[in-house]
Amino acid sequence: MSNQKRPYKKADLNAPRIKHKIKGLVTVDFYAVLTKKHPHLKAIPYMKIKNILNVFHKECQEAIISNRDGIELPEGMGFMSIASCPAPDRSVNVVLSKQLGYEVGYRNLKTDGYMAKIMYSNIESKYKFANRKIWGFMAIREFKRNVAHTYPDNWTIYRQMYKGEKIREQYRKAKAAEARAKKRDIVESYNEFNLD
């Protein structure tokens, strides 16, 4: 194997671009369906409901970032967490590659070669719902940037996921450990002579 440096190929700026059309979920159509299903919500204006949902989403983002085990979404929608995964071998540092003239990869030295992944799973949810296998999650830009900003400082607190490992196994282990800790607390605090 030779140790030659591969020349950096600049991106073709005139190539055709594929841009996915993104539609917001909290629209006037959503408000119409919501007020039709729940007529008592007609008293609350559309912008107030939109602001309530935005505040709720920000609180969920903060909880996911700050908790090692992530959060369980309301109404049994599933679980979300952040995991540390080994960085892929072929991630290219574009800025440094342009400066040096040859391809340079990211080393992730701040995080010891790991990168953050936002994980979503609904397999281990308490209540199964129709079409749960086709559900997915796509993080908004603000959430991705918050994770990217906080991850290098706290990367050691998150669970480590490796190639081929399922997120549901992580949740099963976490729930089993939680149940064992709860049982241990009950056994340690038990007093057969206390009748209160």
For the stretch 56-110, pLDDT in tens is 999 999 999 999 888 888 877 888 889 998 887 777 778 888 888 888 877 777 8
Question: Is residue 77 in some structural domain?
Answer: yes
Mean per-residue pLDDT, 134-160: 88
Residues 55 and 135 in one domain: no
Asked if the model's pLDDT at residue 191 lies above 50, the reply is yes
Question: Is residue 86 in some structural domain?
Answer: yes
Rounded distance between C-alpha atoms, residue 69 and residue 80, angstroms: 8
Residues 48 and 132 in one domain: no
Asked if the model's pLDDT at residue 167 lies above 80, the reply is no
At residue 194 the predicted structure's pLDDT band, cuts being 50, 70 and 90, is: confident
Asked if the model's pLDDT at residue 120 lies above 70, the reply is yes
Which of 12, 47, 66 lies at the terminal end of a domain, its last residue?
66
CB 90 within 8 A of CB 105: yes
DSSP 93-137: -HHHHHHHSB--B---GGGTTEEEEEEEE-TT-SS--TTGGG---
Asked if the model's pLDDT at residue 163 lies above 70, the reply is yes
Residues 91 and 121 in one domain: yes
Residues 41 and 137 in one domain: no
Residues 89 and 118 in one domain: yes
Residues 44 and 88 in one domain: no
Q: In the predicted model, what is the mean pLDDT of the chain?
A: 83
Residues 103 and 154 in one domain: yes
User: In total, how many domains does the chain have?
Assistant: 2
Question: Is residue 195 in some structural domain?
Answer: no
Mean per-residue pLDDT, 39-59: 92
Residues 89 and 34 in one domain: no
Residues 136 and 174 in one domain: yes
Which of 66, 96, 126 lies at the terminal end of a domain, its last residue?
66
Rounded distance between C-alpha atoms, residue 154 and residue 144, angstroms: 15
Asked if the model's pLDDT at residue 1 lies above 50, the reply is no
Mean per-residue pLDDT, 3-15: 77
Angle at 133 between CA 118 and CA 28, to 5 degrees: 75
> What pLDDT sits at residue 164?
77
Asked if the model's pLDDT at residue 121 lies above 70, the reply is yes
**Lookup result for tokens 């159509």:** 29
Residues 126 and 85 in one domain: yes
Q: Which of 158, 88, 79, 174 is nearest to 116 (CA)?
A: 158
Question: Is residue 10 in some structural domain?
Answer: no
> What pLDDT sits at residue 58?
93
Question: Is residue 15 in some structural domain?
Answer: no
Question: Is residue 8 in some structural domain?
Answer: no
Residues 43 and 140 in one domain: no
Residues 49 and 119 in one domain: no
Identify the domain containing residue 48 by its residue range: 23-66
Rounded distance between C-alpha atoms, residue 166 and residue 83, angstroms: 12
